[in-house]
Chains A and B, each alone.
Chain A
Amino acid sequence: MGFIDSVTTKLVDATNWARKYSLFQYPFVTACCGMEFMSVAAPKYDIARFGAEFPRFSPRQADLLIIVGTITERQGPALRRIYDQMCEPKWVVAFGVCASTGGFYQNYSTMPGADQVIPVDVYIPGCPPRPEQVLDGLMMLMDRIQRGEGHNQVVIANEKAARQAAKRGLSFDVPAAAIRPRTEASKG
C-alpha cells in the first residue's frame, strides 16, 4: 500500500512537471491589454521560454484560459461556456485589473472581475501589466501546477478521493458536494 502510494505520488509530480511546461493557452482578448499580451508573446519577452507559446483558438484544445481585458456582464455567459468547454485539468489567469476586479470601470455594464463567473488561479495587476509582471504571474501559476494547487486540480483530486472512498464504503471527510454531476463539458 505504502509503496503504491509513493509511486503514484511520483507519477503525479512528473505529470504536473510536464503540464506546467506545456501550457496550451486560449487568449480571451477583449481590450487594450491585448497589446501587452502580444508583447509577451513576441520575441523580446518570449513566453515560449516557458513552454506556453502556443495559443489555441479553440477552448477544447486549451488548458490555460488567459482573460485579457474587460469583461462585460453581457459577455458573462460566453466566458462561462468557454471555460466549461475546456478539457480538465484547466487553469485561468486574469490578465490586468479589468479582468481581475473590473478596474476603473464601476458601472452598469462591466463585470467586477472575471471571478464572478469562473474561478481564477492567478491575478496579474496592472493597467495594462508590464510583460515582466505577466511572466511573473505565469511562473506563479507554474508553481501552483507543480504543487497540484490549481483550482481545477484540487476539484479533480477531491472528486477522485470521494469516489474511491465511496467505492470502499468508507466515510471520508470530503463532502459529497465535491462530486460534481457529470455534464457534457466535463466528460473526458
Chain B
Amino acid sequence: MAQIVLDRLTAQFQAGEILATGSQHGNEWARIRRDAWVAVATFLRDDPTTKMEMFIDLTAVDRFSTEPRFDVVVHLYSVSLKHRVRLYAGVPENDPTVDTLVPVWAGADWFEREAYDLYGVRFKGHPDLRRILMYPEFVGHPLRKDYPKEKRQPLVRRAQQTETGD
C-alpha cells in the first residue's frame, strides 16, 4: 500500500541513510540511520508523493542485550494520500540520543518526553525534555528491561507510630 513511500525514500536518500526497508502484514517500515532522522522525517512530510502530515505515535523499544540497544519508533500517516509508514532509528546504550522531531511535528513533544521518561532516550534539541508520567524525584527509567521489577520509589508512606487505631 505504501510501497511508493519506501521507493521514494530509497530513491531520495542514496548515501546509506536508509539501512533497511520492509513490509509486514501490509505495514511498511524503514530503518533510518540516526544522523538522518530529522532529514528523512522532514522529507516525508514535505514531498508531494508522500505528504506525511500527521504524526501518529513515537515510542521506544528496549532490545536488551542487542546492539544498538534501543529503537526509537515513529508512526506517520498521510491524511490526504491515506498511506502510513513506520520508521525506526537505532540508539546505542552508551550514547542514547537522537535529534528531536518537535520542529517537524509539534505533536512529537509529549511523546518524546514519554520516551525519555520511561526509556531514558535523550532527544537533542527538544524544547522541554522533562519527565511527563513519573514524578521528578523518580530515579531511573522504569520500562528499561534492566529496571528491577519489584523496585518501588514511594513519595509518601504512613507514619506508623501515631496511628494507633487499627
Contact = CB atoms under 8 A, between A and B. Distances in A.
B154 A116 contact: yes
A31 interface: no
Interface string B48-86: 000000000000000000000000000000000000000
Given A73-B135, A152-B165, A115 B142 contact: no
A77 B156 contact: yes
B147 interface: yes
Nearest to B156: A76
A155 interface: yes
Contacts of A74: 134-135, 155
A147 to B, nearest CB: 13
Nearest to A118: B158
Contacts of B165: 119, 150-155
Contacts of A150: 165
26 contacts: A73-B153, A73-B154, A74-B135, A76-B155, A106-B149, A106-B150, A108-B151, A108-B152, A108-B153, A109-B142, A111-B154, A112-B152, A117-B157, A118-B158, A119-B166, A120-B166, A150-B165, A151-B163, A151-B166, A152-B165, A154-B165, A155-B162, A158-B164, A177-B164, A178-B162, A178-B164
Contacts of B135: 73-74
A20 to B, nearest CB: 17
A108 B142 contact: yes
B162 A177 contact: yes
**Chain A interface category by residue count:** 20 to 34
Interface residues of B, number: 21
Interface in B118-166: 133-135, 142, 147, 149-158, 161-166
A180 interface: yes
Q: In the complex, which of the residues A108, A109, A120, A151 has the most CB atoms of chain B within 10 Å of its own CB atom? A: A108
Interface of A: 73-74, 76-77, 80, 106-109, 111-112, 115-121, 150-155, 158, 177-178, 180
A154 to B, nearest CB: 4
Contacts of A115: 158
A139 to B, nearest CB: 18
Given A151-B163, A158-B164, A119 B147 contact: no
Contact of A73 (B152, B158, B164): B152
Contacts of A118: 158
B157 to A, nearest CB: 6
B62 to A, nearest CB: 14
B109 to A, nearest CB: 20
A116 B158 contact: yes
A153 B165 CA distance: 8
B158 A76 contact: no
Closest 7 CB pairs of A and B: A151-B165, A154-B165, A108-B142, A151-B166, A76-B156, A155-B165, A76-B155
A150 B164 CA distance: 11
Contacts of B151: 108
Contacts of A155: 162-165
A108 B147 CA distance: 9
A132 B147 CA distance: 41
Contacts of A178: 162, 164
Contacts of A153: 165
Nearest to B160: A119
